[in-house]
Amino acid sequence: MVFIFKLLLVVLLLFIILNLVRAMFEMVRGPRDEEGESQQDKPMSFYLGKRVFLSALAVILLIAALLSGLIEPNSRPY
């Protein structure tokens, strides 16, 4: 069960990075003009909003796992 939870967190972190990269490409590409070039499919804020949502979901899952005892914090971090 712990392995599945950790795998879920890793997948969430990969989706967070993917959305950050997609937002970067939208930012670099910039707005398109009407001379044959297509308009942006989705704005940069769409991908950044998804990234914030996934980050909040990861934090909520971590807090829920800590409170339920699924994972335990390191008692001596150094």
Domain ranges of the chain: 12-28+42-68
Query: What parts of the chain have a pLDDT lower than 50?
Result: 36
Treating both helix axes as pointing N-terminal to C-terminal, what angle do 2-29 and 44-68 enclose, rounded to 10 degrees?
160
Q: Which amino acid is at 48?
A: L
Please classify residue 7 by burial: count the beta carbons closer than 10 Å to its beta carbon, then call 0-12 exposed, 13-18 middle and 19+ buried: exposed
**In this structure, what are the phi and psi dihedrals at residue 77, rounded to the nearest 5 degrees?**
-75, -5
Q: What angle do CA 64, 66, 16 make, to 5 degrees?
A: 60
* The predicted structure's pLDDT at residue 36: 44
C-alpha distances in Å from residue 5, one per residue of 31, 51, 77: 40, 19, 21
This prediction has a pTM of: 0.78
